[in-house]
Chain A
């Protein structure tokens, strides 16, 4: 999966990047299943790999983005990115040194089933639920507004 991630950010063709991102989402759904979050694995495939990536590919095809030619390689940009990523990984190595108990599959006190995940959604997290619905409405209005040809 990390190899897919590397290929996403280092492909010259954006369509190739999008394809590897889809593969990454599918791998991530597999990891979710291993962590017994079955409902969220299905939602990941449906929403991310199904809707978000289709949107990406539509935009790539609409704008007719070509594969970038081999330009003069910006060593400064690459160096900056590697420094930032390397610093983050180094800090991760420091933090994750503490011994931690193992995750044993099947010992969860709740299931990853639909009911177990959605029940707090309608009881404890009702306010974020409604606000998210409102946010989706606002996003839809914004998208329609942003893609008008000319605003009078």
Chain B
């Protein structure tokens, strides 16, 4: 019997993996990919709740999240490309010119 809790466990574990990826990795692009994983985990939780409560609003919200995530990826990658043009690196360790 697949309960709501199973889906929430998967969503939570995926989110934890995303957070771990953001903290551990040094490559900006992989950090960005882990961020996308986070958003997908939230999508899964929303759709599971929408199925569980028999409301359709969760799915509408997931629609918006997918659209906005796509826009965010476009802008974020443009920023990364512009940053690479200046510093010639995408390693977070070397992008510390704004550090105190």
Give chain A's interface residues, CB within 8 Å of chain B.
Answer: 1-2, 5-6, 8-9, 11, 14, 17-18, 21, 24-25, 28, 31-32, 35-37, 39-40, 43-44, 47-48, 51-52, 55-56, 59-60, 62-63, 65, 68, 74, 77-78, 80-82, 84-86, 88-89, 92, 96, 100-103, 108-110, 112, 116-117, 120-121, 124-125, 128, 132, 135-136, 139-140, 142-143, 146-147
A85–B14 alpha-carbon span in the complex (Å): 10
Partner of B77, one of A48, A56, A120, A132: A56
Contact residues in A for B13 (Cβ distance below 8 Å): 2, 5, 89, 92
Across chains A and B, the number of contacting residue pairs, with CB separation under 8 Å, is 212
A102–B81 alpha-carbon span in the complex (Å): 47
A9–B24 alpha-carbon span in the complex (Å): 8
Contact A43 B66 (CB under 8 A): yes
B4-30: CB near A (< 8 Å → 1, else 0) gives 110111101111111111111111011
Contact A1 B14 (CB under 8 A): yes
Name the residue among A2, A110, A128, A146 with the largest chain B CB count within 10 angstroms. Answer: A146
Known A84-B23, A96-B8, A117-B63: A55·B77 in contact at CB below 8 Å: yes
Contact B60 A125 (CB under 8 A): yes
Known A31-B44, A59-B81: A100·B3 in contact at CB below 8 Å: yes
Knowing that A55-B77, A102-B1 touch, tell me 14 more A-B residue pairs with CB under 8 angstroms: A2-B17, A8-B30, A21-B36, A37-B62, A56-B33, A56-B73, A63-B81, A88-B12, A92-B16, A103-B3, A112-B59, A135-B68, A143-B75, A147-B82
